[in-house]
Structure 1
Amino acid sequence: MQYDKAKDQFIQAWGTLGSAWGINKAMGQIHALLLITEEALTTEDIMEELKISRGNANMNLRSLMDWGIVQKVLKPGERKEYFTTGKDILELARQVSRERRRREIEPVMRVLNEVQEIEGDTPQVEHFKKVTGDLSGFTKQVDGALDKFIRSDKNWFFQVLMKMMR
């Protein structure tokens, strides 16, 4: 397979995978392009490579920076802004986990804690408390596992992964 075809195929696949992370396809494609490019790219480089508008590129670059997976790079003597991403895949997974935890797990935990304050002693209320209590317990376990992963080093992560595969 030729480099250009492989690159395009990877960018398309990473864009599709991005939707599983909770980001849109264009964000995934921009991240993929930055991931496989050695040098930092300008917005214009990204627009040209992916055939997207300036507004689309700018909006998605800002979102990727909000996620903490793309950084702006300033080059001395240059007026243009450049963008890059880290190449450490484990660190990328940790950052995505941090952000998903902040955006998804923490708000659910707050709601589950709040609804436990429900008053009453009807069968409906008891059932509601049980289900939301079980969900709260499960969510706390998921949060704890995410926290361990986020704080882990490579050796710990791969040791746990190898144990799980046995």
Structure 2
Amino acid sequence: MELTEAKQKFIESWGKLGSEWGINRTMAQVHALLLISPEALTTEELMETLSISRGNANMTLRDLMGWGLIEKQHRAGERKEYFYADKDAWNIARQVAKERRKRELDPVLKVLDELSKVEGDLNDPEFKTFNKSINDINELAKNVDKTIDTMLKAEENWFWGSIFKIFR
């Protein structure tokens, strides 16, 4: 397989993976292109390479910057904006975990905390089942939150070393 074909395959695969994780396919494809580009790219270069509209490109770039996955760069004497993605996989994983936590886990934890305070008769099978399920899910969600917190604070080697010790 030649480099051009391999790059296209990576972009398509990253886009598919992104959509499986609930991220817009185009957003994942733009991120993929920036990941494998040695230099920062302009909006026009992204549009041409991925065959997307200016509106789609601008919205996607704004979203990627909002996620903290890309940066906008300016070059002296030029009016064009350039976009660059951090190539460090550990930084990317931590940033995605941080954003997903904020957008998905934090709101669920808030609701679960509220639901865990519902009062009722522990002899009522319906309440007992509800209460146990909510408390179990809440405990799991809080453990996931602690794991994400550890990941966000940890150095890569320490984190993976700790994880792999668990499975030995």
Q: Distance in 1 between matches of 2:130 and 2:8?
A: 49
Q: Could you list the runs of 5+ residues in structure 2 that have no partner in the other structure?
A: none
Q: Which residue of 2 aligns with 1:79?
A: 79
Query: Which position in structure 1 is the counterpart of 2:11?
Result: 11
Q: Is 1:47–2:47 an aligned residue pair?
A: yes
User: 2:52 is paired with a residue of what secondary structure?
Assistant: coil
- Give every structure 1 segment of 4 or more consecutive aligned residues whose post-TM-superposition deviation is greater than 6 Å: none
Q: 1:150 aligns with which of 127, 152, 159?
A: 152
Following superposition, the deviation at residue 68 of structure 1 comes to 0.7
Alignment RMSD, CA only?
1.4
Distance 1:6 1:68, change over 3 A: same
> What amino acid is aligned across from residue 146 of structure 1 in structure 2?
I
User: Which residue of the partner structure matches residue 126 of structure 2?
Assistant: 124
Percent identical residues: 51
1:24 aligns with 2:42: no
SS in 2 for 1:79: coil
User: Could you say what secondary structure the match of 2:118 adopts?
Assistant: coil
TM-score by length of 2: 0.93
Matched length: 166
- Any gaps of 5 or more consecutive residues in structure 1? none
Equivalent residue, structure 2, for 1:159 = 161
- Supply the distance in 1 between the matched residues of 2:16 and 2:135 (Cα, whole angstroms): 35
State the distance in 2 between where 1:161 and 1:133 align.
Answer: 26
Letter in 1 for 2:136: D
Q: What's the offset of the Cα at 1:163?
A: 2.6
User: Larger deviation: 49-58 or 12-21?
Assistant: 12-21
- The alpha-carbon distance between structure 1 residues 51 and 163, as it changes in their structure 2 partners (threshold 3 A), is same
Shift of 1:165: 5.3
The structure 1 residue matched to 2:135, chosen from 128, 133, 146, is 133
Read off the aligned partner of 2:53 and give its amino acid letter.
S
Aligned equivalents of 1:100, 1:4: Cα separation in 2: 32
Aligned equivalents of 2:162, 2:8: Cα separation in 1: 34
Whichever residue aligns with residue 148 of structure 1, its letter is T
TM-score (norm 1): 0.94
CA distance in 1, matches of 2:84, 2:93: 16
Cα distance, 1:161–1:131 mapped onto 2, change above 3 Å: closer
State the match for 2:62 in structure 1.
62
